[in-house]
Amino acid sequence: MNSNIRNFVIIAHIDHGKSTLADRFLELTKTVSENKLKPQYLDRMDLEKEHGITIKMHPVRMLWHSQTQNSKLKTQNLKGEYILNLIDTPGHVDFTYEVSRALAAVEGAVLLVDGTQGIQAQTISNFILAQKQGLKIIGAINKIDLEIPDLEQKRKELADLLKVDGKEIILLSAKTGKNVDTLLQKIAVEIPGPEIKKESPFRALVFDSHYDDYKGIIAYLRVVEGEIAKGEKIHFVISGAKGSAVDLGYFAPELKSKDKLKSGEIGWIATGLKDLNLVRVGDTITKSPIIVPLPGYKEPKPVVFAGFYLAKGKIDSGLAKSDKDFEHFRQSLNQLKLNDSALYFTPESSEVLGRGYRLGFLGMLHLKITQERLKKEYGLDLVITQPTAPYKVLLKGGKEKIITNPSEWPSPNEIIGYEEPWVNMEIITMPQYLSRVMKLVNDCRGENMNTFTFVERLAIKCEIPLEEVIKDFYDNLKSVSSGYASLSYEISGYKPTELEKLEVILAGKQFESLSRIVFRDKIEKEARKLALKLKDVLPRQNYAIPIQIKGMGRIIARETVPALKKDVTGYLYGGDRTRKMKLWKKQAKGKKKLLQEADLQIPSEVFLKIFSSSR
């Protein structure tokens, strides 16, 4: 059955113009009126506008009336009217899971390349993802309104990647709108319509969701088979949840209601469900619980872990935070998980910071964005502990344990070995920066480097420890290449390494929340650095605070925060020095007694200073 529906995504490297191209689509199809259309219209989150990047996938339905005389178009659709369901996707490597879920909901993709930069690392990664999904891929080069002396070479480069003739690559300007209508026509002609199975039992794949205070969980879905009408009962096959289609419709890009959703369409269903654990990305919605589920999504594995704790509360007095505040924290994470299915979290506690959660992320940008979303969208002021990679500890008896928190570190006499995660990385850069980039890779313990010529650029493939990547590798790469290098990576496995746990002892009391896992050959440097940092940020007391950093069964670094000074002899006038000596000795004895009885408490502000300086 021929269909006038075209489901497609825009995929590209970060900053190559996806959101601007989406703006032109909205303008040409008159989906959004000119007086309402703002730059990056589909980027609805404030953080997306602040950072200038797409963080979430954004679906929208557009109606396009073809003016072409193309015979193929006429054969497919006599009226020349097309429903274009677009999903705009992120470009940063940390949000690849958003891209992969969007690809599973469509039949085609526009692979967009910035003409001034050419193919970048994430361009290739996204192309491979789309290719594996079996999608029709249309190549387009953006920013032709700028002077691009080697434009034809860039066109050939993209054509070679897609294995098509150079004439198949559309040259356009998302900024001015030049040739954007040609691209829309190509989408209608070449991207296949969805297979329509109207008579089959209703099945739909959930590819995203969010929470609404009035309508409950709103599931974003691709209807694969059958149809669903407003008010009908629904079942979630995997979670077993039951509900009803309280409301349903499509994305305009705002939620717009309609009576039915049919096979081939992309839309949303307001489920009325309030339990945040009942709706999962990758689940299948049906009308009957006995229907076989659709293939879902492969669960993403977090590669960066950090503890999140409420900064506000009576920490200084050692009292637990209120149940109300912690419940708000828990609910906020559950709601965010609905909208960010790559987020992982599990409860944990700290002797100083109280109850909190251990969160897992797909990268440092993912961590940063999550922190900002929790603060801006849910009003949470948080303390975040030192980010760490998931290390593997080999134990006696052939057992293995994945460690994401220093507090889980086994006893040294149980450990027989350590392994750390590594990634396969691809870096694309200009030839003049090759030596600097290779030095950076070597300094970060990179191995198995291979260099390939890539038209006017070079592609460097290598292996590198994940720990080095999550620190500041990306920033350093941009620095050594003057901003002209890009990278993509994926976890490749674990390799043997040497690790140690650093423990922090303040005034004789161990603070597990300040512990960290470090490499054995860097333990001296890291211990001294941590001791000096603590000396700088710890508030002074009426007694001296000894700082001890312990590792490998001994104290590696030691510093002292001096006691607050009070002139106990200020009221004396002249006379023998003996009186002053007695007062000083008495004062010293008192400070020593205070230290012995001390139960040091660290304000949350100190944790903020320590951990923010280490990221």
248 domain residue, yes or no:
yes
Residue 454 has φ and ψ, to the nearest 5°, of -130, 80
Residue 615 has a pLDDT of 44
According to the model, what pLDDT value does residue 504 have? 87
- Return the bridge partners of 391, or none: 403
Q: Above 80 in pLDDT, residue 261?
A: yes
pLDDT class of 44 with cuts at 50, 70, 90: low
Give the pLDDT of residue 579. Answer: 65
> What are the pLDDT digits (tens) for 316-334?
434 444 678 889 999 999 9
Relative to beta strand 391-395, strand 382-384 is: unpaired
- The pLDDT > 90 percentage for the chain reads 28
Q: What is the mean pLDDT of residues 424-449?
A: 90
Residue 374 predicted with pLDDT over 80: yes
Last residue of a domain, which of 497, 525, 542?
Answer: 497
Q: Tell me: the pLDDT tens digits for 142-173?
A: 999 988 888 898 899 899 989 999 899 999 99
What confidence tier does 463 reach under pLDDT thresholds 50, 70, 90? Answer: very high
The Cα 552–Cα 412 span in angstroms is 9
Mean pLDDT of 421-433: 90
Q: What is the CATH number of the domain that holds 582?
A: 3.30.70.2570
Whole-number Å distance between alpha carbons of 294 and 224: 9
Average pLDDT over residues 564-581: 62
In terms of pLDDT, which residue wins out, 189 or 383? 189
The answer to whether position 197 is within a domain reads no
CA torsion sign for 213, 217, 222, 224 is negative
Both tokens assigned to 49: 């506008």
Residues 47 and 181 occupy one common structural domain: yes
To 5 degrees, how large is the angle CA 125–CA 131–CA 134?
Answer: 150
Contact 141, 173 (CB under 8 A): no
The mean pLDDT value of the chain amounts to 83
The pLDDT of residue 317 is: 39
Alpha carbons within 13 angstroms on the beta-carbon side of residue 519 total 13
Q: Closest Cα partner for 276 from 339, 225, 205, 329?
A: 339
* Residue ranges making up the domain that contains 58: 5-190
Please report, for the domain that includes residue 467, its CATH number.
Answer: 3.30.70.240
* Percentage of the residues of the chain whose pLDDT score is greater than 70: 85
- For 56-82, the pLDDT digits (tens) are 788 999 999 876 545 454 445 545 789
pLDDT for res 612: 55
One domain, residues 256 and 322: no
519 with 587, same domain: the answer is yes
Domains contained in the chain, number: 5
Please check whether residues 45 and 182 belong to one and the same domain: yes
Model pLDDT for residues 91-142, shown as the tens digit of each residue: 777 788 888 888 889 999 999 999 888 888 888 888 888 998 899 999 999 9
Residues 378 and 441 in one domain: no
In terms of domains, do 67 and 51 share one?
yes
Output b/e per residue, 482-513; b: 16+ Cβ within 10 A.
Answer: eebbbbbbeeeebeebebbbbbbbbbeeebeb
Cα gap 186→344, rounded to integer Å: 40
Structural domain contains residue 300: no
Confidence band of 83 (pLDDT split at 50, 70, 90): very high
Residue 573: the pLDDT is 62
